[in-house]
């Protein structure tokens, strides 16, 4: 191990990143980071593990007003105007708004009708997911230039464990700044970056000076950073718990930290210690670069409720296409299909079924979701549907120990057809080709 370490150190010095870029002629810096990471992990005992947790350096990156910023990038004339991205139908909701629109009180998940009342002069834009995915891929490629340990949380947000890369780049603050600059160089967009010794603090740090923020919470500054914040900033304290804490006179994280943990038990039960640790800024969760997606789903709320079976099935097929395409893009397969239906009276049902093997084929997933839908419809023939959605869970990587690969439901013909369609859709953007039935609903939307 020592030899490897020495070798790594030796190569690191010879290949230190310079002002002209990160090019390393005879051993890529990614190789070095991977080696450093492996060396660090393999030689640890229990005591060292505690020390290692304390020595971690985590960067959290979150793009500013992501969808809206991409729209402003592509249409520069929008730059200083309020821009709102989201569903444009009568039941649409705001996905995001740029900061010029946020001053009018617009925020994510707000009904679009309300946004239009608050800010009628804004530019309203429908989301273009494939464009956001393309930019997201560029952002994530920046992350991987700094560390192999990247945990993506969404298209615009990730944790990076940069502990093994500190010497290579000169320290955590240098890494945070360089990540930010490199994202701007490769996309033209601004990110907010938070740095700390754990995930919880890094995430709060990236949010502290949004937009375009760069905040490092040093180990000695944790209480000064956290104490004035309202308790609602702690993960897991929501609308129900906050009033109970208010009743105890606990409004800020500092007050929670100073309070005896036994006082917290009636509010949090057996999670009291967890929240007390968070109030002290303690969090030992690892950045999990390998974390697989737990589920993938898609749903649509119709502008007017639908009863027609053919139209509902066409929508289910369109969703099965989208979900299965996302599975294939990530080399995942699914075992369980879920269908969600909300009727005009706002009653929501979900039906799910596990398959006898794994699949990521459009046809198979559609067949399963159709069967689930039909079993609901048999008892609800005259019920108008407000929302329909389908999704998959029980995901496995295609190559995970041969588990999913050897247990595959899809025929080779189905797989070839999917591959051809994926290639066409990749080339010509979002969903240019659908199976015949889905066209029926697609046409109606236009």
- Tell me which residues are annotated as active site: 157
Contact letters for ligand DCP, residues 13-52 (x by CB under 6 A):
----------------------------------------
Does residue 151 touch Mg ion according to CB under 5 A?
Answer: no
Which letter does DSSP use for residue 119 in this model?
A: -
Please give, one letter per residue, the 3-state secondary structure of 333-379.
EEEEEEEEEEECCCCEEEEEEEEEEEECCHHHHHHHHHHHHHHHHCC
Nearer to ligand DCP, 72 or 409 (CB): 72
- Phi-psi bin for 218: left (phi > 0), alpha (psi -120 to 50), beta? beta
CB of residue 150 to ligand DCP, shortest distance in Å? 16
**Using CB under 5 A, which of 156, 161, 283, 410 touches Mg ion?**
156
Q: Does 157 bind ligand DCP (CB under 6 A)?
A: yes
62 lies in the binding site for Mg ion (CB under 5 A): yes
Q: With binding defined as CB under 6 A, does residue 210 bind ligand DCP?
A: yes
Separation CA 398–CA 419 (nearest Å): 15
Question: Cβ closer to ligand DCP: 30 or 108?
Answer: 108
Min dist CB 98 to ligand DCP, Å, is 8
If the CB atoms of residues 117 and 209 are measured against ligand DCP, the closer one turns out to be: 209
Q: Are strands 191-196 and 214-216 parallel, antiparallel or unpaired?
A: parallel
- Residue 387 phi, psi (nearest 5): -140, 140
Q: How many residues comprise the chain?
A: 446
Cβ atoms of 83 and 98 within 8 Å: the answer is yes
Chain residues 102-121 in contact with ligand DCP, contact rule CB under 6 A: 108-109
CB atoms within 10 A of CB 16: 13
Out of 58, 59, 63, 438, the residue judged to bind Mg ion by CB under 5 A: 63
Could you tell me how far CA 332 lies from the centroid of its own chain? 17
Per DSSP, the three-state class of 270 is helix
Torsion of CA 196, 197, 198, 204, to 10 degrees: -20
Given 17, 33, 64, 337, the residue binding ligand DCP (CB under 6 A): 64
Q: Which of residues 347-366 bind ligand DCP (CB under 6 A)?
A: none
Stretch that binds ligand DCP, among 149-157, 358-366, 369-377, 383-391 (CB under 6 A): 149-157
Residue 202 site contact among Mg ion, ligand DCP, none (CB < 5 to 8 Å, cut-off depends on kind): none
CA atoms lying within 13 Å on the CB side of residue 106: 32
**Closest approach of Mg ion to the CB of residue 64, in Å:** 6
Toward ligand DCP, which CB reaches closer, 156 or 321? 156
Which CB, 66 or 200, lies closer to ligand DCP? 66
CA neighbours within 13 Å on the CB side: how many for 238?
2
Q: Name the β-bridge partners of 61.
A: 158, 193
Specify the residue, 31 or 207, whose C-beta has the smaller distance to ligand DCP.
Answer: 207
C-beta separation of 66 from 129 below 8 A:
no
The single residue among 78, 83, 84, 95 that binds ligand DCP, judged by CB under 6 A, is 95
Q: Which residues bind Mg ion (CB under 5 A)?
A: 62-63, 66, 156
Binding site residues, ligand DCP, CB under 6 A: 62-67, 95-96, 108-109, 154, 156-157, 210-211
């Amino acid at each position: 191990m020592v030899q490897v370490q020495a070798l790594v150190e030796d190569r690191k010095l010879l290949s230190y990143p310079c002002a002209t870029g990160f090019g390393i002629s005879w051993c890529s810096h990614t190789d070095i980071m991977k080696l450093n990471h492996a060396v660090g992990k393999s030689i640890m005992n229990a005591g060292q593990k505690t020390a290692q947790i304390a020595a971690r350096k985590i960067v959290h990156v979150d793009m500013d007003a992501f969808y809206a910023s991409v729209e402003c990038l592509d249409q520069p004339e929008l730059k200083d105007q309020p821009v709102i991205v989201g569903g444009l139908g009568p039941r649409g909701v705001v996905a995001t708004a740029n900061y010029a629109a946020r001053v009018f009180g617009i925020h994510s998940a707000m009904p679009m009708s309300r946004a239009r009342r608050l800010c009628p002069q804004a530019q309203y834009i429908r989301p273009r997911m494939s464009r956001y995915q393309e930019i997201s891929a560029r952002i994530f490629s920046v992350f991987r230039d700094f560390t192999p340990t990247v945990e993506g949380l969404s298209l615009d947000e990730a944790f990076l464990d940069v502990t093994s890369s500190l010497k290579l780049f000169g320290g955590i603050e240098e890494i945070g700044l360089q990540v930010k600059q490199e994202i701007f160089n490769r996309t033209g967009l601004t990110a907010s970056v938070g740095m700390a010794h754990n995930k919880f603090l890094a995430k709060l740090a990236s949010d502290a000076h949004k937009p375009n923020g760069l905040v490092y919470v040093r180990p000695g500054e944790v209480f000064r950073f956290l104490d004035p914040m309202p308790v609602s900033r702690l993960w897991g304290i929501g609308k129900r718990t906050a009033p109970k804490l208010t009743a105890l006179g606990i409004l800020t994280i500092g007050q929670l930290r100073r309070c005896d943990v036994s006082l917290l038990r009636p509010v949090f039960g057996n999670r009291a210690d967890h929240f007390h640790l968070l109030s002290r800024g303690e969090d030992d969760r690892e950045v999990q670069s390998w974390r697989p997606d737990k589920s993938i789903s898609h749903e649509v709320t119709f502008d007017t409720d639908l009863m027609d079976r053919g139209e509902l099935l066409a929508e289910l097929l369109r969703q099965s296409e989208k979900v299965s395409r996302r599975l294939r893009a990530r080399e995942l397969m699914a075992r369980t299909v879920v269908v969600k239906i909300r009727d005009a009276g706002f009653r929501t049902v979900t039906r799910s079924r596990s398959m006898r093997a794994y699949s990521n084929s459009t046809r198979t997933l559609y067949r399963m979701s159709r069967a689930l839908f039909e079993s609901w419809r048999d008892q609800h023939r005259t019920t108008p549907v407000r929302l329909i959605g389908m999704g998959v869970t029980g995901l496995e990587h295609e190559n995970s120990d041969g588990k999913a690969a050897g247990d595959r439901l899809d025929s080779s013909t189905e797989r070839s057809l999917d591959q051809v369609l994926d290639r066409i859709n990749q080339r010509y953007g979002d969903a240019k080709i659908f199976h015949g039935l889905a066209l029926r609903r697609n046409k109606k939307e236009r």
